[in-house]
Amino acid sequence: MKYWLMKSEPDVFSIDHLKIKNKSGWDGVRNYQARNFMRDEMKKGDMVLFYHSSCEEPGVAGLARISKESHPDPTQFDKKSDYYDPKATLENPRWFMVEVEFVEKFDKLISLATIKSVKELSGMPLVQKGSRLSINPVSEKEFSLISTL
């Protein structure tokens, strides 16, 4: 089993949205590295740190789990969608997504500031300067440490 960190802007899609929906496709990713993680490496049952970005207090808000492996992101074919990609075709889709299911919302958000203050977490891409990839692999140690903070 693998562990991941996935960023989302809570104004657009937060842990609360996921809690209400229970399951949701992780659509709208338009970065090749992030896509490749979803398409090639994420497996059903993998655990996810749900991270809130670009908001008042950025940090890990809870846990999710991969409930369906890679399949084409339908928003790439939708002309009305912000994520529409004219170069993608049904025969040759360019963007893929996974489905995630709600696991838990933390009682207290684990803020980026907190994560930065923990020495054992200093290797995470999240705390590296200039790292802005929306999906990152996380080690088992990092995952379990964060989920116990």
Structure tokens at 134: 């929306």
Tell me the closest approach of the beta carbon of residue 53 to DNA, in angstroms: 4
Nearer to DNA, 22 or 33 (CB): 33
Q: Is 54 in the site for DNA (CB under 7 A)?
A: yes
Note whether 145 binds DNA by CB under 7 A.
no
Angle subtended at Cα 47 by Cα 43 and Cα 48, rounded to the nearest 5 degrees = 110
Residues 27, 50: Cα–Cα separation, whole Å = 15
Minimum CB separation of residue 112 from DNA in Å reads 5
User: Is residue 113 near DNA by the rule CB under 7 A?
Assistant: yes
Is residue 134 near DNA by the rule CB under 7 A?
Answer: yes
Burial class (CB in 10 A: 0-12, 13-18, 19+), 60: buried
How many residues make up the chain in this entry?
149
Binding site for DNA (CB under 7 A): 7, 9, 30-33, 53-55, 58, 112-113, 116, 129-134
